[in-house]
Amino acid sequence: MAKLTINDVDVAGKKVFMRVDFNVPLDDDLKITDERRIEMALPSIKSVIERGGRLILASHLGRPKGEPNPKFSLAPAAEALSRHVGQAVKLASDTVGPNATELVENLKDGEIVLLENLRFDAREKSGDEAFAAQLAEFADVYCNNAFGTCHREHASMYGVPAAMGGKPKTVGSLVEKEIKYLSGVISTPDRPFVAILGGAKVSDKIKVIENLIGICDHILIGGAMAYTFSLAQGGKVGKSLVEPDKVDLAKELIAKAGDKLVLPVDTHCGDDFNKDCNKQVVAAGEIADEFEGLDIGPKTAAQFADIIKSAKTVVWNGPMGVFEMPPFDEGTKIVAQAIADSEAISIIGGGDSAAAIAQLGFEDSVTHVSTGGGASLAMLEGKSFAAVDVLDEK
């Protein structure tokens, strides 16, 4: 069943509580260095104000540990959003206190109030019901437009819609799109369906691999997690980043997945963690004691690109090597290029994979780039999200 969207609801003259993800990166001068999270929330924000809704926005920013901290104020986000929507966005100095209450009560049609950082109140993360009920009292309609925190049962994510009774509880366009690709496409993929998993730790991706074994045609493994699999096969990994305590688990996954699991055949190594180190390409499992694996090798990159070429659905989560440090970015670049060139439905998990796709200029050549690293991983694990389940069906 599809979820009720904010566009399905008449918002004219109504107060809409919209949970957004304005957890944007700030520099030392508290200037936003990347506004994408704000920009991606704009379609649903504009939809509400252009149809005469009275919009109450709520978000967290950083980790302020449950108390006010000017370093994590949403003031820079309010300023950026004002620019994007062409009107002043009022920033409340609190979340459910007197200032927020006054600004919400005086909201007019088409206006926006942004509540101060939800995590300035410890009750947000604890999912406190009384705090959620206070937030819920502000609004006639709820909208979840914050995919990055959909896997959390925080007060604003779960408690507020749960406290809204029979009032409409909707998804914004951002969450609607994430569910469509990460849940919908993956549950009934066009085949061959290829998953590419990288990053540092097998432990981060265990549940994903276990879930995808039953769904995918191929699972390509890169990044440092490949060295734990290499160790499980009796290979030499030198100084590579490995998880010795996960070797038995890696053996189980190799046995369970069979031919579906495609491991690197060669490795690009260095004798130090910098771009000027001594480098060599060796067969997988043959890394010398003083070297560490920092990227998949050229044969592996070519093999992965070949498998991607014939795919109809591709999911990618995690870089193939140290993509921030040439020349150990080569494997990630070749995989990204292959995905961009393919005709497959391509879904890029959040975090480093999204950063790599953006850095390489391929954002417009893939089908969907997820906005939530942790949330996209949880969805790939096949988890259900209470914060989404609580919303209304169409």
pLDDT given for residue 202 in this prediction: 79
Q: What is the pLDDT of residues 172-186, one digit of tens each?
A: 999 999 888 888 788
End-to-end Cα separation, the chain, in angstroms = 7
- Active-site residue, 184 included: no
Per-residue pLDDT at 347 exceeds 70: yes
How many Å apart are CA 265 and CA 299, to the nearest integer? 7
Is there a contact between 150 and 174 (Cβ–Cβ < 8 Å)?
no
Residues 13-52 as b or e (16 or more Cβ within 10 Å = b): ebbbbbbbbbbbebeeeeebeebebbebbbebbebbbebe
Q: What is the pTM of this model?
A: 0.86
Exactly one of 331, 351, 372, 373 is catalytic; which is it?
351
pLDDT given for residue 382 in this prediction: 81
How many Å apart are CA 268 and CA 259, to the nearest integer? 24
Per-residue pLDDT band for 188 (boundaries 50, 70, 90) equals: confident
Tell me which CATH code domain 182-380 carries: 3.40.50.1260
pLDDT given for residue 1 in this prediction: 56
Q: What is the pLDDT of residues 247-305, one digit of tens each?
A: 999 999 999 999 999 999 999 999 999 999 999 999 999 999 999 999 999 999 999 99
Identify the DSSP state of 328: T
How many Å apart are CA 378 and CA 393, to the nearest integer? 21
- Active-site residue, 201 included: yes
Exactly one of 201, 207, 275, 309 is catalytic; which is it?
201
Closest to 41 measured CA to CA, from 376, 390, 382, 371: 371
Per-residue pLDDT at 40 exceeds 80: yes
Return the structure tokens found at 21: 């993800």
Per-residue pLDDT band for 200 (boundaries 50, 70, 90) equals: confident
How many Å apart are CA 12 and CA 318, to the nearest integer? 43
Q: Where in the chain is the domain with CATH 3.40.50.1260?
A: 6-174, 182-380
- Active-site residue, 297 included: no
Per-residue pLDDT at 218 exceeds 90: yes
**Average pLDDT in the 65-86 region?**
97
How many Å apart are CA 293 and CA 357, to the nearest integer? 22
Exactly one of 62, 110, 374, 382 is catalytic; which is it?
374
Q: What is the pLDDT of residues 260-275, one digit of tens each?
A: 999 999 999 999 999 9
* Domain covering 6-174 assigned CATH 3.20.20.10 in the classification: no
- Active-site residue, 351 included: yes
Mean pLDDT of the chain: 94
Q: Phi then psi for 86, rounded to 5 degrees? A: 70, 30
Find where tokens 């104020």 sit. 73
